[in-house]
Amino acid sequence: MNSIEERIKELKQEKNAVILAHYYQCPEIQQIADYVGDSYYLSKIVKEAGQELIIFCGVRFMAESAKILSPHKKVLLPVADAGCPMADMADTNKIKELKKQYPDAAAVCYINTSVEVKALCDICVTSSNAFDIIRKLPERKIIFLPDRNLSAYIADKCPEKEFIIYPGYCIVHNKIMPEHITELKIKHPNAPVAAHPECRKEVLALADFVGSTAEILSYAKSSDSPELIVVTEEGIRHALEHQSPKKKFYFPYPQMICANMKKTTIENVLWALEDEAAEIHIEEGLRISALNCLKEMHRLGN
């Protein structure tokens, strides 16, 4: 262990801090984290963890969700401009218009959204619980935002619902085309394909399994296959290889790397712990309006 990691460990103890990291973070961040998970798991851990200081290694909407759920805790996002371009695609004025246009629809937002967007919606979902939650909603019409690919995937699985789909997408997952997968399948014909639902419909059609990052990890663990084609951000490779060191994992080209997830370095984590400057602040009225969305997700989710 080098001195930066030692210092992080000392400060963590001294300050009673906890480090949370998403699977898309760099391996060295995942190694020093107390909890590594998908966005749903991390949103639950925030409340369960006893520590009052949370270092959230991920992107802004994740740290904001932590603050919404645990207002009395100090939540730090080590790199202030680590955002999510898909979350930025959800425009509050357009959402207000859609709600006016479809007053009897449930407004469902992906957790990849700002506090302002969550404050306008009825319930929040993640890729691991979207299907379970949406099918439980009493409303037949669903305004789903901002990910058009996840919406289309859930809409196919819920034919009893009518989806009003918002045109957002993840720049990392959406760039993968079916031919990138078929190229890999030619090279590795026996490897099953596991893909994240933020991928295009035509890509998901080629997948043997579709799920969130945590679900892809479970699938890889239980699969009898010694090799797997994985269609999501490459940060997940660290957890996949740690979990199944004998299996081989192939990722598509062009590389799936979320530049925002990769902004956080080990030094940023140390600096965040040292000066506690990168704090998430949310105006209380806005936080309360956004809280319902996340509470509803935890009530109806698994």
Please give the angle made by the CA atoms of 18, 19 and 20, to the nearest 5 degrees.
120
For position 212 contacting ligand SF4 by CB under 6 A, the verdict is no
Omega before residue 85 within 30° of 0, cis: no
For position 112 contacting ligand SF4 by CB under 6 A, the verdict is yes
For position 86 contacting ligand SF4 by CB under 6 A, the verdict is yes
Task: Answer whether 78's CB lies under 8 Å from 271's CB.
Answer: yes
Structure tokens at 202: 């035509």
Q: Provide Rg for the chain, Cα atoms.
A: 19
For position 260 contacting ligand 13P by CB under 6 A, the verdict is no
Q: How far is the CB of 62 from ligand 13P (least distance, A)?
A: 8
Q: How far is the CB of 212 from ligand 13P (least distance, A)?
A: 3
Q: How far is the CB of 39 from ligand SF4 (least distance, A)?
A: 8
Of 57, 172, 194, 214, the one binding ligand SF4 by CB under 6 A: 172
For position 65 contacting ligand 13P by CB under 6 A, the verdict is no
Of 28, 85, 122, 185, the one binding ligand SF4 by CB under 6 A: 85
Structure tokens at 64: 């904001």
Dist. CA 190–CA 243, nearest whole Å: 20
Sites for ligand 13P among residues 199-228 (CB under 6 A): 212-213
For position 170 contacting ligand 13P by CB under 6 A, the verdict is yes
For position 82 contacting ligand SF4 by CB under 6 A, the verdict is no
Of 18, 46, 57, 59, the one binding ligand SF4 by CB under 6 A: 59
213 binds, among ligand 13P, ligand SF4, none (CB under 5 to 8 A by kind): ligand 13P
For position 213 contacting ligand SF4 by CB under 6 A, the verdict is no
Between 137 and 212, whose beta carbon lies closer to ligand SF4? 212
Task: Answer whether 275's CB lies under 8 Å from 105's CB.
Answer: no
Q: How many residues bind ligand 13P (CB under 6 A)?
A: 9
Sites for ligand 13P among residues 31-60 (CB under 6 A): 38-39
> By CB under 6 A, which span of 13-21, 169-177, 213-221, 239-247 interacts with ligand SF4?
169-177
Range 10-15, long-range pairs (CB < 8 A, 24+ positions): 11/270, 11/273, 11/274, 12/273, 15/53, 15/273, 15/276
Residues in touch with ligand 13P (CB under 6 A): 38-39, 112, 126-127, 170, 198, 212-213
- What residues line the site for ligand SF4 (CB under 6 A)? 59, 84-86, 112, 170-172, 198, 233, 258, 260-261
